[in-house]
Amino acid sequence: MKKILLLLSFMLATSFAFGQEKLILGGSLSGTANFFRADSTIGAINTPQYDHQLFGSETWVALNAAYQGFEGGIRFDMFNNSNLIDPKGSYTDQKIGRWFLRKQIKDLNVEAGYIYDQIGSGIIYRAYEERTLAIDNALYGARLAYNLGANWKATAFAGKQKNRFETYPTTIKGATLSGFVKLDSLGKFAISPGVGVVETTLSDATMERVVSAISTYTPQDSISPIYNTRAVTFYNTLSAGKFSWYLETAFKSKGVMFDPLAEKNNWTGQKSLGKLVNRTGSVLYSTLTYAQRGLGITVEGKRTENFNFRVDPFVSLNRGALNFLPPMARSNTYALTAFYSPATQEFGEQGVQVDIKYSPSRKMNFGLNYSNIQDLDNTPLYQEIYADFSIKHKRKWVLTTGVQLQHYDVERYYNEPGAADVNTVTPFAEFLYKLTRKKSLRFEAQYLNMLKGDHKELPSNGSWAYLLAEYNIAPHWSFALSDMFNALPGETSIVNAATGKKEITHYPRADVFYSTGSTRFGFSYVKQVDGIVCTGGVCRLEPAFSGVKATLSTSF
């Protein structure tokens, strides 16, 4: 509350002092309310919400202000019996989730508070927020950015990373220098080079935990822990007519990190997986893009080795990550093409992705994408071939159809030792028909066909089907009905307790959305299968859900 009062006092004071100037205010509100209804047939049970709480919600309210070169903002975050942070637990708290104050002083920009920023493509540093994945990795500290002429900028920052409503004890500091240089008088050839460095220093308390953990290791597994870890990156974009080439290479000095795949020797002579290690790391990442009228081609490549860069070696998944590693697979939007999504592998991954878009006319579009991800021993982890085609007819209807072929290493991505790989073929179709200028119908049909391997049964969850019908009345209403079900159950599908047979389980959903201006309300009845949800290569395991969701988002 003191931070809120200070910011409001500043706004009012400047408003009264310079009454002739305008104080610009704006903000936003977003929230989700979940009403839980236990359903043992889909595994939506045995969490506090299903057992006795029956309700959970998340709310974010932000207020921003601008006045005479000053910019400020404050955000209130509230979690009420929420399973967003821990899918199997319940979290309740409410505090100021973010505040910041920024001022431009000639060529110098000064910012303090909770800051979002990144260096290059984010390989060594990215402070960002992704609420659907329970990520809020803001830097709590200060940032200075100075314009060195028209085309160059130097930046320096320091602070600690946010951890819910607290901060991790590790200190962070970094700096960047980036610019833009024309290579010819017409501006058709140009480069945008940059260099960045980030260093972390473990706190004494964190180091004591590291030393305590290492003391239990056998001599061959013991390491010498280091307080400071430094990462540096060099990046550049070369623009040459219709071509654009981005190249970034990053290196990380030795630092303590936990490798879940490293083999550990126990005092009993047995071996297990997972231990603290002290290794250097590297990333090489590049994209080459060609674009002209009607044609776009993008080729990406990346090699990652031991680039786990966190503020605490004892946290995992999406917690405490300082950086962001670009994914090597496309972001699929259809329910079944996104059913098996590959999470970026920090300790060892090499991959390539090719994406082609071709539009021979305004009525037709073709798309082709190929992804191939391997570990550093050239073992295939993920492969995908995706093709789609869309055609328009007199602004009356649009038909989109395509197919996806996948190979997916379940053992690696789901951390299930011994699990069989899955191979899928997923055809899909979408049809949009405009009844009137404001009314339209949209239909989706998808089928994930699980191919049999060496097992008698279909591996994993088997084959799935998805159907959707949607009716829209612009600009306010949208209604949708869908069903997703395992048409051919696999080896991990749900077994009927009475018959002992694997069931075809349905996951129906009904949605109603209402929009007015910048405000959108949503009300949904949902049965959701458990699985991995990914956004840009960053993934989160979502549990099965049964119940009702209400959503609200608005800006003002």
Residues 6+ apart with CB under 8 A from 228: 199, 200, 201, 202, 253
Beta bridge partners of 39: 44
Distance CA 545, CA 528 (A): 5
Q: Compute the distance between CA of residue 517 and CA of residue 497 in angstroms, rounded to an integer.
A: 50
Q: Is the dihedral angle over the CA atoms 412, 416, 418, 422 positive or is it negative?
A: negative
Distance CA(526)–CA(109), nearest Å, equals 46
Three-state DSSP class for 427? strand
In this structure, the number of other CB atoms found within 10 A of the CB of residue 67 comes to 17
Decide the pairing of beta strands 152-163 and 166-179. antiparallel
Instruction: Identify the three-state secondary structure at position 64.
Output: strand
Closest CA to 535 of 287, 233, 327: 327
User: Could you tell me if 176 and 195 are in contact, meaning their C-beta atoms sit under 8 angstroms apart?
Assistant: yes
- The string of DSSP codes covering 35-86 is EE--BTTTTB-SSHIIIII-EEEEEEEEEEEEETTEEEEEEEEEEEEE-SS-
The pLDDT profile of the chain, 556 residues, written as one tens digit per residue, is 455 545 555 554 544 444 446 899 999 999 999 999 999 888 899 999 999 999 999 999 999 999 988 999 999 999 999 999 888 899 999 999 999 999 999 999 999 999 999 999 999 999 999 988 889 999 999 999 999 988 999 999 999 999 999 999 999 999 999 999 999 877 789 999 999 999 999 999 999 999 999 999 999 999 999 999 999 999 999 999 999 999 999 999 999 999 998 888 888 778 888 999 999 999 999 999 999 999 999 999 999 999 999 999 999 888 999 999 999 999 999 999 999 999 999 999 999 999 999 999 999 999 999 999 999 999 999 999 999 999 999 889 999 999 999 999 999 988 888 888 999 999 999 999 999 999 999 999 999 999 876 555 566 778 999 999 999 999 999 999 999 999 888 776 777 666 777 788 999 999 999 999 999 999 999 999 988 777 777 777 788 899 999 999 999 9
Residue 208 has φ and ψ, to the nearest 5°, of -60, -40
Amino acid, res. 461: N
The angle formed by the CA atoms of residues 453, 456 and 460, to the nearest 5 degrees, is 60
Q: Would you say 96 and 62 are in contact if contact means Cβ atoms under 8 Å apart? A: no
**Where does 83-180 show beta strands of DSSP type E?**
91-105, 108-115, 117-118, 126-127, 129-130, 135-136, 139-147, 152-163, 166-179
183: its two tokens: 């290579």
Three-state secondary-structure class, residue 49:
helix
